[in-house]
């Protein structure tokens, strides 16, 4: 007897937008359950927010260095094995932190950033291999929307387990999701040979990729846009738990705030029509400007924690508007023959954000209180709003890559643009 499975179940078992969104969600769960407890453990071991910032800064440097090495590993071996290695390294992160020592904490944070950057690069390459450019404006919001489940429940769940059960319980949950992600990845049986035209050249020297990337203004702009929104999220995940503890709201409230802010990602289906109607430029400008003004209000009201919390959540709404765009500014600009090379450079935005934010704040917090973190962040976001005004309005629309624009891009590519 033939059993007809639901459409979504068939899509989940085959490479495509649905499957990649689910895969990203499992990986997000592995990181999200640890996201709100890492700053608490670091603060417990190091004693002050400035030292925590310095630790995050040093960890981020390692992540950037590893990001440039991933294409070399992809060249030496099959991409599926590189992804597998990244998932196992990500699983080693919570296992190390279960030791309950400063050394275990540092090792776990290192494993976490190395595993994350490896999985990010590999997954972006698989997305480019299996999803056509004209489908990215639908696939990217779906990926972010699915991951909203992880980032909404993960931080609160991790904090609850950490404070009410045991720190080991929070880390064990992250370990479990990393292994689930790896299992699902192998269930998809992804091929390294792209069905829509993968890169035909091996990855060159990682440092050479930087020069090539910098000569492509559209790629650089996509990187800067991703850096801006990622910097805000880095600030949220590192300093919101610290803010909650220092203002007397408590660690559990800090985890709930992170989860609630992330939960606004569920607004993405409602905002997708807004993106298609208004265009990428207006969405980015509005998102950065709104986030900048509301984050400045957090600094102004930090002595009134409940008021500051309101502005924090408002700011998160605007940043979610930025997440609606996702990685489209990059994915629509990269050429098929440069995917592996350029993705390794582009993926550094996450690590640069996790370096720049705590790196700057480690200096700022030596002379100022926590309010300065939000004030500096607001200036960055307002600057990004000004920059977003130069984004080409056709990117991110349903007709963004119709035949007319595709022909123009091919001509520009042939001319070496």
Token digits of residue 94: 């919570």
Euclidean distance between CA atoms 389 and 215, whole angstroms: 20
Query: Is residue 158 a contact partner of residue 173, using CB atoms and an 8 Å limit?
Result: yes
Q: Which has more confidence, 183 or 338?
A: 183
Please tell me the predicted confidence (pLDDT) of residue 289: 94
Please tell me the predicted confidence (pLDDT) of residue 355: 78
Please tell me the predicted confidence (pLDDT) of residue 381: 94
CB atoms within 10 A of CB 417: 12
Torsion of CA 54, 58, 61, 63, to 10 degrees: -110
For 58-94, write each residue's pLDDT tens digit.
888 887 788 778 878 888 888 889 999 999 999 999 9
Question: Confidence band (pLDDT; 50, 70, 90) for 340?
Answer: low
Give DSSP secondary structure letters for 354-390: HHHHHHHHHHHTTTS-THHHHHHHHHHHHHHHHHHTT
Euclidean distance between CA atoms 296 and 218, whole angstroms: 30
pLDDT above 90: percentage of residues in the chain: 25
Q: List the end-to-end C-alpha distance of the chain, in Å, as a whole number.
A: 57
CB atoms within 10 A of CB 280: 25
Please tell me the predicted confidence (pLDDT) of residue 201: 47
Please state the rounded mean pLDDT for residues 110-118: 90
Query: Is residue 227 a contact partner of residue 322, using CB atoms and an 8 Å limit?
Result: no
**Closest to 40 in 3D by CA, of 313, 173, 239:** 239
Please tell me the predicted confidence (pLDDT) of residue 7: 44
Euclidean distance between CA atoms 85 and 144, whole angstroms: 24
Euclidean distance between CA atoms 357 and 231, whole angstroms: 6
Which range, of 62-76, 279-293, 351-365, 399-413, averages the lowest pLDDT? 399-413
For 137-183, write each residue's pLDDT tens digit.
667 667 777 887 888 888 889 989 988 888 889 999 999 999 999 99
Please tell me the predicted confidence (pLDDT) of residue 246: 87
Question: Confidence band (pLDDT; 50, 70, 90) for 275?
Answer: low
Please tell me the predicted confidence (pLDDT) of residue 326: 62
Exposure string for 387-406, b = 16+ CB within 10 A, e = fewer: ebeebbebbbbeebbeeebe
For 354-375, write each residue's pLDDT tens digit.
778 888 888 888 888 899 999 9
For residue 408, what are the contacts with CB-CB under 8 A and spacing of at least 6? none
Euclidean distance between CA atoms 370 and 349, whole angstroms: 24
Exposure string for 101-115, b = 16+ CB within 10 A, e = fewer: eeebbbbbbbbbbbb
Q: Between vectors from CA 91 to CA 88 and to CA 93, what angle results, nearest 5°? A: 120
Contacts 24+ apart (CB under 8 A), 126-129: 126/15, 126/20, 126/79, 126/190, 127/20, 127/331, 128/194, 128/198, 128/331, 128/334, 128/336, 128/339, 128/343, 129/194, 129/195, 129/196, 129/198, 129/339
Euclidean distance between CA atoms 302 and 377, whole angstroms: 14
For 210-248, write each residue's pLDDT tens digit.
788 888 888 888 888 888 888 999 899 889 988 998 888
**Closest to 36 in 3D by CA, of 171, 128, 142, 199:** 171
For 383-399, write each residue's pLDDT tens digit.
999 888 776 655 433 33
Helix axis angle, 49-76 relative to 38-46, nearest 10°? 130
Query: Is residue 389 a contact partner of residue 285, using CB atoms and an 8 Å limit?
Result: yes
For residue 258, what are the contacts with CB-CB under 8 A and spacing of at least 6? 35, 36, 155, 156, 236, 237, 240, 241
Q: How far is CA 166 from the centre of its chain?
A: 27
Question: Confidence band (pLDDT; 50, 70, 90) for 194?
Answer: low
pLDDT value at 21 more than 90: no
Q: Which has more confidence, 53 or 96?
A: 96
pLDDT value at 404 more than 80: no
Whole-number mean pLDDT of the chain? Answer: 79
Please tell me the predicted confidence (pLDDT) of residue 212: 81
């Amino acid at each position: 007897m033939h059993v007809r499975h639901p459409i979504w179940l068939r899509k989940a078992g085959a490479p495509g937008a649905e499957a990649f969104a689910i895969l990203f969600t499992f990986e997000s769960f592995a990181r999200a359950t640890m996201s709100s407890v890492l700053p608490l453990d670091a603060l417990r071991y190091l004693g002050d927010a400035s030292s925590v910032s310095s630790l995050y800064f040093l960890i981020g440097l390692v992540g950037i260095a590893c990001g440039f090495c991933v294409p070399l590993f992809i060249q030496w071996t099959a991409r599926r094995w590189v992804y597998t290695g990244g998932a196992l390294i990500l699983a080693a992160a919570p296992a190390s932190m279960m030791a309950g020592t400063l050394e275990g904490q540092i090792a776990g944070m290192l494993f976490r950033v190395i595993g994350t950057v490896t999985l990010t690069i590999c997954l972006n390459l698989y997305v480019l291999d299996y999803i056509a450019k004209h489908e990215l404006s639908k696939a990217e919001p779906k990926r972010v929307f699915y991951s909203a489940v992880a980032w909404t429940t993960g931080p609160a769940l991790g904090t609850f387990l950490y404070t009410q059960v045991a720190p080991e319980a929070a880390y064990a949950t992250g370990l479990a999701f990393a292994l689930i992600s790896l299992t699902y990845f192998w269930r998809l049986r992804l091929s390294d040979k792209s069905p829509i035209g993968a890169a035909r050249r091996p990855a060159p020297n990682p440092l050479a990729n930087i020069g090539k990337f910098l000569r492509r203004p559209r790629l650089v702009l996509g990187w800067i846009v991703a850096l801006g929104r990622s910097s805000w999220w880095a600030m949220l995940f590192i300093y919101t738990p610290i803010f909650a503890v220092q203002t007397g709201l408590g660690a559990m409230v800090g985890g709930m705030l992170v989860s609630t802010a992330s939960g606004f990602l569920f607004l993405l289906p409602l905002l997708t029509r807004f993106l298609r109607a208004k265009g990428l430029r207006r969405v980015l400008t509005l998102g950065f400007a709104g986030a900048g003004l509301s984050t400045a209000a957090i600094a102004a009201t930090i002595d009134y924690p409940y008021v500051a919390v309101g502005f924090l959540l408002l700011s998160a709404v605007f940043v979610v508007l930025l997440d609606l765009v996702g990685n489209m500014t990059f994915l629509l600009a990269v050429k098929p023959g440069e995917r592996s090379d350029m993705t390794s450079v582009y993926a550094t935005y996450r690590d640069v954000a996790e370096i720049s934010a705590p790196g700057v704040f480690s200096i700022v917090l030596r002379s100022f209180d926590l309010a300065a973190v939000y004030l500096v962040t607001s200036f960055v976001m307002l600057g990004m709003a000004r920059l977003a005004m130069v984004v080409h309005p056709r990117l991110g629309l349903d007709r963004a890559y119709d035949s007319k624009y595709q022909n123009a891009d091919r001509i520009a590519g042939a001319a070496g643009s």
